[in-house]
């Protein structure tokens, strides 16, 4: 998908919203308990290449489309089970080597501590997705698990504490990642149409970064100092052409400070528009930094 065609994702999503009522009437009986949602997102990311050397950092637009199906099942008065599946597509027209498709099952269980909208809710989510990427070394399965404790302090203000784990089992050690994230998020329903939300967190584990050929050559030859040489010559890496000819991808231990803010508008009972900004500030084991910021607009529809 090229840059000119990618905005058609928004048009496609809008068409889906107009057809949802007719589609629901035609839905087979066995699908009546399923809940479907679709989202399309257009975003701009600075330092999408996750590069430490500022003059070589790459910025780009991305286009994403996702579909989700889930079936909730009440197990008891306070217990809810949810089973479903996800499918995601990511396009980076300027650097198409990073395009990917992923999908797989998802399972969650929720416990509500009492009755009413203000009762706390504890939820455990698990998922397993298979990723198909144009970079063959990045193909493989991704396992995820998350524990979320949420509480409405008022009818319009919600606070949640999250713990998440992710591991990607790639074909190559360069793209094997293991990450743990702790975060807090809050949302405020300003009125019946507007919602303001935000989150902040800390990620620890392994991440994949990228370097231009001339910079990587200096790193592994000692041109950037002994500390860089001693570390970068012991980690998994390979030439992937991810952001241009000769670019190298490599795997490092790191931590990252995460934050985001979003403003959402309800177009209807089932359709929402969301404007989001986010920041990821990665620092690897030897203090090399990879800052990144993004802005995105999403259209989300529930069928």
DSSP string, the chain: --TTTTTHHHHHHHHHHHHHHHHHHT--GGGTT-EEEEEEEEEEEETTT--SSGGG---EEEEEEEEEEEEEEE-SSSEEEEEEEEEEEEE-GGGGGG-EEEEEEEEEEEEESSSSTTS-EEEEEEEEEEEEESSGGG-EEEEEEEEEEEEESSSSEEEEEEEEEEEEEESSGGG-EEEEEEEEEEEEE-SSSEEEEEEEEEEEEEEEEEE-HHHHHHHHHTTT-HHHHHHHTSS-EEE--TTSTT-EEEEEEEEEEEEEEEEEEESSSSEEEEEEEEEEEEEETTS-EEEEEEEEEEEEEE-
Residue-wise pLDDT tens for the chain (303 aa)? 444 444 445 545 454 545 444 555 555 555 667 999 999 999 999 999 999 999 999 999 999 999 999 999 999 999 999 999 999 999 999 999 999 999 999 999 999 999 888 999 999 999 999 999 999 999 999 999 999 999 999 999 999 999 999 999 999 999 999 999 999 999 999 999 999 999 999 999 999 999 999 999 999 999 999 999 999 999 999 999 999 999 999 999 999 999 999 999 999 999 999 999 999 999 999 999 999 999 999 999 998
In a domain, 1, yes or no: no
In a domain, 116, yes or no: yes
Q: What pLDDT score was predicted for residue 29? A: 55
170 is written with which tokens? 């790639």
In a domain, 118, yes or no: yes
Domain total for the chain? 1
204 is written with which tokens? 């620890």
- Which residues span the domain enclosing 280? 8-302
In a domain, 261, yes or no: yes
Q: What pLDDT score was predicted for residue 286? A: 97
27 is written with which tokens? 């839905």
Q: Which residues pair with 103 in a beta bridge?
A: 87, 130
In a domain, 268, yes or no: yes
In a domain, 2, yes or no: no
Q: What is the spatial distance between Cα 146 and Cα 154, in angstroms, rounded to a whole number?
A: 25
What CATH number should be reported for the domain holding residue 120? 2.40.160.40
Q: What is the spatial distance between Cα 125 and Cα 138, in angstroms, rounded to a whole number?
A: 24
Q: What pLDDT score was predicted for residue 245? A: 97
Q: What pLDDT score was predicted for residue 289? A: 98
């Amino acid at each position: 998908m090229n840059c000119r065609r990618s905005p058609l994702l928004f048009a496609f999503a809008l068409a889906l919203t107009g057809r949802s009522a007719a589609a629901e009437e035609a839905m087979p009986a066995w699908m009546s308990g399923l809940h479907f949602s679709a989202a399309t997102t257009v975003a701009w990311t600075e330092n999408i290449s996750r590069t430490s050397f500022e003059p070589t950092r790459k910025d780009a637009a991305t286009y994403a489309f996702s579909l989700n199906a889930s079936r909730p099942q009440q197990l008891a008065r306070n217990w809810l089970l949810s089973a479903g599946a996800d499918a995601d597509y990511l396009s980076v027209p300027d650097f198409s080597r990073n395009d990917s498709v992923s999908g797989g099952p998802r399972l969650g269980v929720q416990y509500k501590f009492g009755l009413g909208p203000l009762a706390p809710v504890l939820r455990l989510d698990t998922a397993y997705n298979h990723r198909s990427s144009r970079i063959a070394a990045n193909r493989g399965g991704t396992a995820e698990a998350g524990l979320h404790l949420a509480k409405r302090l008022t009818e319009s203000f919600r606070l949640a504490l999250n713990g998440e784990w992710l591991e990607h089992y790639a074909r190559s050690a360069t793209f094997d990642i293991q990450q743990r994230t702790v975060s807090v998020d809050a949302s405020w329903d300003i009125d019946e149409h507007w919602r303001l939300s935000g989150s902040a967190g800390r990620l620890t584990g392994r991440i994949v970064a990228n370097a231009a050929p001339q910079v990587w050559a200096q790193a592994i030859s000692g041109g950037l100092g002994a500390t860089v040489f001693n570390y970068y010559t012991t980690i998994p890496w390979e030439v992937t052409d991810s952001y241009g000819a000769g670019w190298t991808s490599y795997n490092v231990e790191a931590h990252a400070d995460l934050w985001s803010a979003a403003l959402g508008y309800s177009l209807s009972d089932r359709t929402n528009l969301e404007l989001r900004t986010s920041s990821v500030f990665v620092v690897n084991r030897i203090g090399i930094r990879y800052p990144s910021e993004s802005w995105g607009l999403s259209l989300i529809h529930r069928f």
